[in-house]
Amino acid sequence: MDTPKSGEFAHIGKSVVIKGELSGSEDLYVDGTVEGAIQLQGNNLVIGPNGHVHADVNAKGVVIQGKLEGNIRASDRAELRKSAVILGDIVTQRIAIEDGAYFKGKVEIQREGAKPNPVSATRAEPQVEAKSAAAAGTPVTKQ
């Protein structure tokens, strides 16, 4: 789910402030401020880099580039981009988090049926080098 092209998503621009409950049956792109709740069952939500959402979110897929304070319930997938700041719990089937994203909360994976590999994680930066650093030694115990 990439940044939407114009016309694909309903669009809330960065100068728009909405207080209340947002619900709908189409995909939504929020680059402004929303306080309240967002209900998009079966549809996707993208919070843009300027977006600041203070709401519980219920959607099929959620992509966050901006700031979200609230709980996320994504029936399919949650994606936290590297610029994302999330303060809240996430319940979803699959989650992808880029390096650099700030997350404070709980992650709970809800499996549907017996789908393998429910969680995937992406890296914003390529792995440059890996070195073997240290081997472990003898444990010393104090009881």
Sites of contact with other proteins (CB under 8 A): 85, 95-99, 101-109, 117-123, 125-143
- Based on CB atoms, which residue is closest to other proteins, 6 or 132? 132
Give the single-character DSSP code of 113.
T
> Cα-flanking dihedrals φ and ψ of residue 112, to 5°?
-110, 120
- Least CB distance to other proteins at residue 107 (A): 5
Other CB atoms within 10 Å distance of the CB of residue 101: 18
Closer Cβ to other proteins, 27 or 73, answer by number: 73
Residue whose CB is less far from other proteins, 5 or 131: 131
State the DSSP code for 5.
Answer: P
- The tokens describing 32, both together, are 């402004």
Smallest gap from residue 143 Cβ to other proteins (A): 5
Q: Work out how close the CB of 111 gets to other proteins at its nearest, in angstroms, rounded to a whole number.
A: 9
Q: Which residue, 43 or 83, has its beta carbon nearer to other proteins?
A: 83
Helix H or strand E encompassing 30: strand 28-30
Among the listed residues 64, 46, 129, the one whose alpha carbon sits nearest the alpha carbon of residue 102:
64
Structure tokens at 129: 């080098």
Q: How far is the CB of 100 from other proteins (least distance, A)?
A: 8
